[in-house]
Structure 1
Amino acid sequence: MEDTTESPAIHPAIAPLSYLLGTWRGQGEGGFPTINSFSYVEQLHFSHSGKPFIAYTQKTWKLNSGEPMHAESGFWRPKPDGTIEVVISQSTGLVEVQKGTYSAEEKVIKLQSELVGNASKVREITRVFKLVDEELFYEVKMATNLTSLQPHLKASLQRI
Structure 2
Amino acid sequence: MIEIPSDLHKDLVSLAFLLGTWEGAGVHDFPGAEKCNFGQELIFRHDGRAFLEYRSRTWVLDGEGNKVRPLENETGFWRVTSNQHGAQGVREIEFSSVRDDGTVEIWYGELADGKPQIDLATDAVARIEGGPQYSGGKRLYGLVNGELMWVGEKSAPEVPLRPYMSAQLKKVLNPAQLVKDVNDLPDDGIAFFR
Calculate the TM-score normalised by the size of structure 1: 0.91
**Paired AA for residue 135 in structure 1:** E
Q: Which runs of 5+ in 1 are unaligned?
A: 1-6
Query: Matches of 1:48 and 1:35 in 2, distance apart?
Result: 34
**Equivalent residue of 1:35, what SS?**
coil
Q: 35, 38, 47: which is aligned to 2:36? A: 38
Q: Does 1:142 align with 2:154?
A: yes
Q: 2:138 aligns with which of 116, 126, 134?
A: 126
Q: Distance in 2 between matches of 1:84 and 1:49?
A: 18
Q: Which residue of 1 aligns with 2:76?
A: 74
CA deviations 1:95-114 (Å, max 9, x no partner) are: 01001111262111111000
**1 CA distance for matches of 2:47 and 2:112?**
22
Percent of aligned pairs with the same amino acid: 29
Highest relative contact order (Cα 8 Å, sep 6+), 1 or 2? 1
Is the Cα–Cα contact under 8 Å of residues 112 and 126 in structure 1 kept in the other structure?
Answer: yes
Question: Of the candidates 114, 124, 129, which is equivalent to residue 105 of structure 1?
Answer: 114
**Equivalent residue, structure 2, for 1:4:** none
Kindly report structure 1 stretches of 4+ aligned residues shifted beyond 6 Å: none
Say which SS state the counterpart of residue 58 (structure 1) adopts. strand
- Code of the residue aligned with 1:56 in structure 2: it is Y
Greater Cα radius of gyration, structure 1 or 2: 2
Q: 1:61 aligns with which of 59, 68, 77?
A: 59
Pairwise CA distance, 1:80: 4.6
Name whichever structure is richer in helix by fraction.
2
| Structure with the higher strand share, 1 or 2 | 1
| CA shift digits 1:51-107 (9 cap, x unpaired) | 111000000112124122211100000125300110000011100100111126211
* Residue 26 of structure 2 is aligned to residue 28 of structure 1: yes
TM-score (norm: length of structure 2): 0.75
Q: Secondary structure at the match of 2:9?
A: coil
How many angstroms apart in 2 are the aligned matches of 1:55 and 1:40?
A: 22
Count of residue correspondences? 154
- CA deviations 1:2-48 (Å, max 9, x no partner) are xxxxx770111000111110000000101013334210100100000
